[in-house]
A = this chain, B = another copy of it.
């Protein structure tokens, strides 16, 4: 049974202001919670059914508060109403600078506003072996429940650094790639050995400050009539093209 105070605390973390104040965030779902407690994140609380907990005892250190609960109680606690009931609170990581090294690819998110898109981009990056993301300050918060949930656990393997993109691109000597209407065909272009792939905002694309530094413009060919692609979908197609080119090299 979970106390009213604890329940209120967990719910408060759905709001960015309180996440920041507590430096803590919520992870929902059995699979994600089970991966979380095996990771090097500092976990402070796990709320789950007895059935789930019994399989996890070896990973639940004394420093983690563990509360046994029911599916019903858990479904009221989290943001998502699922039968996949387990919930944890972990400490946020500091927003540390990330450098994308020579011979390595990273992503740059230019105001990705939708937390679901952000999470799906992180999951896709993880699939394609990309673990470093630079995000603009107006990009959605990775620690929101929606974003964490959409990563399907990939937030544990992909680092994200929120910063001013115009400052960042001014300093980097890397190849900077971005999707534009009039670029090279993504099916036939050469991607080089490393670089930073910029993903633009869902409505406005890549901002002026960043686009003036994009030195390789690429285009995803269209065969039908949609005006544009979803940001996570575009990311996936470019990363898939990039990896298949590297294989050929």
Q: Is A183 an interface residue (CB 8 A)?
A: no
Assembly CA distance A124 to B237 (angstroms): 11
List residues 107-143 of chain A with CB under 8 A from any CB of chain B: 116, 120, 123-131
Instruction: Please give, as numbers and ranges, the residues of chain B lying within 8 Å of A236 by CB-CB distance.
Output: 229, 233, 236-237
> Are B226 and A243 closer than 8 Å at their CB atoms?
no
Check A229 against B124 for contact (C-beta < 8 Å). yes
A157 within 8 A of B: yes
B153, A227: Cβ atoms closer than 8 Å: yes
Q: How many copies does the complex hold?
A: 2
The interface residues of chain B lying within 8 Å CB-to-CB of A243 are 221, 223
CB of A200 to closest CB in B, whole Å: 15
B127 touches A224 (CB 8 A): yes
B226 with A126: CB separation less than 8 A: yes
A230 touches B (CB below 8 Å): yes
Distance to closest chain B CB from A235 (angstroms):
8
Residues of B contacting A126 in the complex (Cβ-Cβ under 8 angstroms): 224-226
Closest to A131 in B: B224
Are A127 and B187 in contact, with the CB atoms below 8 A? no
Within 8 A of B (CB), among A145-163: 150, 152-154, 157
